[in-house]
Amino acid sequence: MAKTYFRYVPDFDYVSRLKDFKHIGDYVTVKNLFKRVQVRPDIFNDDTHFTKYTIVGNERPDNVAFKIYDDSNLDWLVLMSNNIINFESEWPLDQQSFYNYLISKYGTEENINSTHHYESKEVKNSQKRIILPKGLEIPKDYSITYYDPGTKTEKVASQISTEITNYIYEERLETKKRNIYLLKNEYIGLVLDDMDNLLQYEPGSTQYVSNKVVKGDNIRLY
C-alpha cells in the first residue's frame, strides 16, 4: 500500500503561535504545504500513459483509487493526474451539494430553471448536408437563410433555437468533471519515486535540519 499524500510532504518547524506556548523559543511542526510536485511532463503530456475514466455517482478520489489501483491511499494520484488542486470546485458534487450550490448561486428554484442562453438546433439542406450545427449559442429568435442546391431554392430556417436553463448549463459542467484520466499501473512506481525525491529538502540553507525538516527563523529572539 502506498503512503498517504501527507506522508510524502516534508515538515516545517514553525515558530509557535499557539496561545499556550510556554517559551519564546517554542516551535510547532507543521506540513510544508508550499512544497508541491506534479506528474513529470514526459508522463503527464503523453496520453498513452493514461486511461479514460468516468466518475460514477458520488465516488470520491479514494473510492476511484481503490477501484482502479486497489489502494485508496492513491487518491492524491487520481487528483494529480488531472491537475486538480481545488477539490471542492474541480471534482463533481454529490446531488445534495449540487442542489445547495445552485441555490447559493441562483437564489431560488425558479431562477435555477430560468433561461441561461439559447442554442441552435441542427439545420440540414435537402441533401442532408449540415447548414447549421447543433449546440451553437444563438439569440432566441435566430434564423438563417441559405441556398439549397437540391431544390435550387433559397430557404429560411426559423424556430431553430433551444432554451438552455441554468440547471442544464450547470449540470453540463458537472458532467464534464466526471470525465477524468487515470495513470496506468505500470507508471505508478515512477511517480512514487518522484514524490520521494522531489519533496525532500536539499542541504545548504541555514534552515536545513534534514531532508524532511527545515526550521523557520524565530524573529522573537532578535
Reported as a single tens digit per residue, the pLDDT across 110-120 is: 999 999 999 99
CA 145, 148, 153, 157 torsion-angle sign: negative
Can you give the pLDDT at residue 111? Answer: 98
Can you give the pLDDT at residue 51? Answer: 97
147 has a pLDDT exceeding 80: yes
Give me 81's grid cell. 493526474
178 and 55 in contact (C-beta within 8 Å)? Answer: yes
Can you give the pLDDT at residue 66? Answer: 97
Average pLDDT over residues 39-50: 92
Task: Enter the pTM of the model.
Answer: 0.78
16 has a pLDDT exceeding 80: no
DSSP 86-135: -HHHHSPPPHHHHHHHHHHHHSSHHHHTSEEEEEEPPEE-TTS-EEE-TT
